[in-house]
């Protein structure tokens, strides 16, 4: 069977499965549409959250980032798992007890009125939209590569797949599709790594064996980093960069030249050892790197605990008790992948450092040229010795996971499986994000603010039309192939952390927090965060304490927190209704009017 057919069959089978589940779960019930009828058992909600959470970036990009940045990439591993501790301890059980449909719902009820709800809707859309564009972009990338169709067609095929699920059955269909998608993506992630581990170490448990492999990588690094030919290649790249820069004679460079220059300088730079934390020339750079690592981990964690599409999932369990258990299953299923990514990075690095580096360029394996064709692998024999030095090989982070089956010499079927897994990761996250945006518009804006008397069928129709519109706008954005897509995704975490986290957590744990505090806190948090990241990224603002724009939430979140507290204390205490609501959320079940008895 030809490789193309393996690709078609995997795509058709998985899309067919998702569409089938979508059709079977179609619903006209408003509670099923928004919160899956609150009947999703903890384990399955955990899997669905796992699929929700594990996006194209986690599945395809994560191991590649770890491969390229070594220890310093690990901020993502910590941030994207540790955030669920905050979800479990600070939010999920209370939101479940509150038991409405969206996150702006909670803000609206707790802080009485549409102002808090409106700010919430705005921030939810801001955080979710860039994120969903990135997912659709990922879908386009994978389907165009494995189906041989062009990128734009790939995007619209993907969007059709997303809409089949969400339009017909809302949250209910999405939940059950995501359960299937989780199973596919985790198998697709684990199979090639386990086989690679078996091949390198004779033990199929990459998590245990990668420590020894890491030692070998560290040994090997010493040889190849200091190889005279490697040093020569780096010097040649540096010279080429200098020549290019000198050719500009102080004139502003075109974007293309800038890119070439950055590329050459990256190749000329000394590689850093995989296991070394915060490599740097002097103590000060190392300390800044450590500070950035901590700031990024903190932003990702707090952002995780404030992203509406994740929090929304805990509305769907049958009880508070199951909501708590469901966060456990979520973090369990999610960490299966994050546990594996660092091991995968080490194993692939071992293969490349021992098998590729130092071998003849004419005899490189076939996968190199296959991925070079799509521009993800680049080989430049700058010193013309016919041997591959480390500096002469450039890998795009996305290639690591997608090419692992070929690197490990596995049959093409495994590549098809990996592609199907990546697609499942991107589709499932996109599903949830689109539904979050459409719900914010249909439920919070239309039903709660514009037309509270709307009938159920009308609300469903409005919701589905909005879903379609949002999907098309997102697909259109993705088809423009925006450059900054990955950094925009990381921003979503800072935005969510700054805008939502203070108002949500204080809303539950501090009865005194009031409407004015929450609204100004959300606005200030979001404002500081956007000011910082736009200032640093686009206007050359000097970073505060050397913190990069990706961790803008480091300033936005505390600013928001402080504002909520100060403004709340300066304005009158919230009404009795708000205090009662907080009490209501804190106890899973108040039998026999336990509160009245106390009052």
Partner 1 sequence: MPTSTKLQEYWHKNLRMTGFLLFVWFLATFAVIWFVRDLNKFTFLGFPFGFYMTSQGSLAIYVALVWCYARYMNKLDKKYGVAED
Specify the residue, 212 or 487, whose C-beta has the smaller distance to partner 1. 212
Rule CB under 8 A: choose which of 9, 43, 78, 566 binds partner 1.
Answer: 78
Q: Which two tokens stand for residue 555?
A: 């300033």
Residue 376 beta carbon to partner 1: minimum distance, rounded to whole angstroms: 25
Rule CB under 8 A: choose which of 328, 476, 510, 531 binds partner 1.
Answer: 328
Specify the residue, 25 or 65, whose C-beta has the smaller distance to partner 1. 65
The residues, any chain, with a CB within 8 Å of residue 217's CB and separated by 6 or more, are 274, 275, 346, 349, 350, 353
For 358, the 3-state DSSP assignment is coil
Q: Using CB under 8 A, which residues numbered 556 to 595 contact partner 1?
A: 576, 579-580, 583, 586-591, 594-595
Rule CB under 8 A: choose which of 110, 313, 324, 349 binds partner 1.
Answer: 324
Residue 86 beta carbon to partner 1: minimum distance, rounded to whole angstroms: 8
Specify the residue, 201 or 436, whose C-beta has the smaller distance to partner 1. 201
Whether the Cβ atoms of residue 475 and residue 140 lie closer than 8 Å to each other: no
Task: Give the single-character DSSP code of 59.
Answer: I
For partner 1, how many residues bind (rule: CB under 8 A)? Answer: 58
Does 484 bind partner 1 (CB under 8 A)? Our answer is no
* CA gap 378, 387 in Å, rounded: 14
Interface with partner 1 by CB under 8 A: which range of 33-41, 163-171, 324-332, 516-524? 324-332
Specify the residue, 19 or 213, whose C-beta has the smaller distance to partner 1. 213
For 379, the 3-state DSSP assignment is strand
Specify the residue, 472 or 573, whose C-beta has the smaller distance to partner 1. 573
Rule CB under 8 A: choose which of 121, 185, 310, 343 binds partner 1.
Answer: 343
Q: Which two tokens stand for residue 122?
A: 């705005």
Residue 560 beta carbon to partner 1: minimum distance, rounded to whole angstroms: 19
Q: How far is CA 364 from CA 144, 354, 360, 386, 415, in A?
A: 26, 13, 7, 11, 19
**Longest alpha-carbon distance in the chain:** 87
Rule CB under 8 A: choose which of 290, 356, 372, 449 binds partner 1.
Answer: 290
Buried b (16+ CB within 10 A) or exposed e, 356-393: bbbeebeebeebbeebeeeebbeebebbeeebbbbbbb
* CA gap 323, 317 in Å, rounded: 6
Rule CB under 8 A: choose which of 121, 159, 331, 522 binds partner 1.
Answer: 331
In three-state form (DSSP H/G/I as H, E/B as E, the rest C), the secondary structure along 166-226 is HHHHHHHHHHHHHHHHHHHHHHHHHHHHHHHHHHHHCCCCHHHHHHHHHHHHHHHHHHHHH
- Using a 10 angstrom Cβ sphere, with 0-12 exposed, 13-18 middle and 19 or more buried, the burial of residue 413 is middle
Q: Using CB under 8 A, which residues numbered 194 to 223 contact partner 1?
A: 207-208, 210-215
Specify the residue, 539 or 591, whose C-beta has the smaller distance to partner 1. 591
What mask, x for binding partner 1 by CB under 8 A, covers residues 12 to 51?
----------------------------------------
Specify the residue, 269 or 579, whose C-beta has the smaller distance to partner 1. 579
State the residue for tokens 């067609």: 153
Residues found near partner 1 in the complex (CB under 8 A): 71, 74, 77-78, 81-82, 84-86, 88-90, 93, 207-208, 210-215, 275, 277, 290, 293-294, 297-298, 301, 319-321, 324-325, 327-328, 331-332, 335, 338-339, 342-343, 576, 579-580, 583, 586-591, 594-595, 597-599
């Amino acid at each position: 069977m030809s490789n193309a057919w393996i690709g078609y069959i995997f795509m058709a089978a998985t899309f067919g499965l998702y569409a089938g589940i979508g059709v079977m779960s179609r619903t006209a019930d408003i509670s099923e549409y928004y919160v899956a009828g609150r009947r999703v058992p903890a384990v399955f909600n955990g899997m669905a959250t796992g699929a929700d959470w594990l996006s194209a970036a986690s599945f395809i990009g994560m191991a590649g980032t770890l491969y390229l940045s070594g220890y310093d990439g690990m901020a993502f591993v910590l941030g994207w798992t540790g955030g669920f501790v905050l979800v479990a301890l600070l939010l999920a059980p209370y939101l479940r007890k509150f038991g409405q449909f969206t996150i702006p719902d909670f803000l609206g009820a707790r802080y009485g009125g549409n102002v808090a709800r409106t700010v919430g809707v705005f921030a939810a859309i801001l955080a979710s939209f860039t994120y969903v564009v990135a997912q659709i972009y990922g879908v386009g990338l994978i389907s165009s590569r494995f189906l041989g169709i062009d990128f734009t067609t790939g995007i619209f095929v993907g969007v059709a797949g997303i809409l089949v699920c969400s339009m017909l059955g809302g949250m209910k269909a999405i939940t059950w599709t995501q359960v299937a998608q989780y199973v596919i993506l985790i198998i697709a992630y684990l199979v090639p790594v386990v086989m690679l581990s078996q091949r390198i170490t004779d033990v199929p448990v990459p998590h245990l064996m990668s420590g020894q492999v890491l030692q070998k990588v560290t040994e090997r690094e010493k040889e190849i980093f200091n190889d005279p030919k490697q040093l020569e290649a780096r010097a040649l790249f540096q010279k080429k960069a200098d020549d290019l820069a000198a050719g500009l004679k102080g004139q502003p460079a075109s974007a293309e030249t800038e890119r070439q220059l950055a590329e050459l300088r990256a190749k000329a730079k000394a590689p850093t050892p995989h296991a070394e934390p915060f490599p740097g020339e002097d103590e000060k750079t190392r300390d800044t790197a450590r500070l950035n690592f901590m700031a990024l981990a903190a932003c990702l964690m707090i952002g995780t605990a404030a992203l509406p599409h994740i929090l929304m999932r805990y509305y769907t369990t049958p009880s508070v008790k199951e909501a708590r258990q469901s966060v456990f299953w979520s973090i369990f299923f999610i960490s299966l992948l994050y546990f594996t990514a660092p091991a995968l990075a080490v194993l692939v690095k071992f293969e490349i450092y021992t098998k590729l580096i130092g071998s003849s360029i004419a005899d490189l394996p076939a996968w190199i040229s296959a991925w070079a064709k799509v521009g993800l692998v680049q080989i430049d024999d700058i010193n013309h010795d016919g041997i591959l030095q480390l500096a002469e090989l450039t890998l795009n982070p996305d290639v690591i996971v997608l090419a692992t089956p070929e690197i490990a010499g596995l049959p093409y079927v495994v590549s098809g499986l990996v592609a199907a897994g990546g697609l499942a990761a991107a589709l499932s996250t996109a599903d949830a994000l689109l539904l979050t945006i459409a719900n914010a518009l249909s439920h919070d804006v239309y039903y709660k603010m514009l037309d509270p008397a709307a009938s159920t069928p009308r609300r469903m129709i409005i919701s589905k039309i909005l879903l379609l519109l949002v999907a098309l706008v997102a697909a259109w954005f993705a088809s423009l192939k925006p450059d900054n897509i990955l950094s925009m995704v990381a921003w979503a975490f800072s935005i969510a952390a700054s805008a939502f986290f203070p108002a949500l957590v204080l809303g539950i744990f501090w009865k005194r927090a009031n409407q004015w505090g929450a609204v100004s806190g959300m606005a200030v948090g979001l404002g500081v965060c956007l000011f910082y990241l736009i200032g640093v990224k686009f206007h050359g603002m000097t970073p505060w304490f050397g913190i990069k724009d990706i961790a803008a939430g480091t300033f936005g979140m505390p600013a928001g927190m402080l504002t909520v507290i100060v403004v709340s204390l300066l304005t009158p205490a919230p009404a009795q209704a708000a205090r009662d609501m907080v009490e209501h959320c804190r106890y899973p079940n108040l039998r026999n009017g336990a509160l009245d008895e106390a009052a």
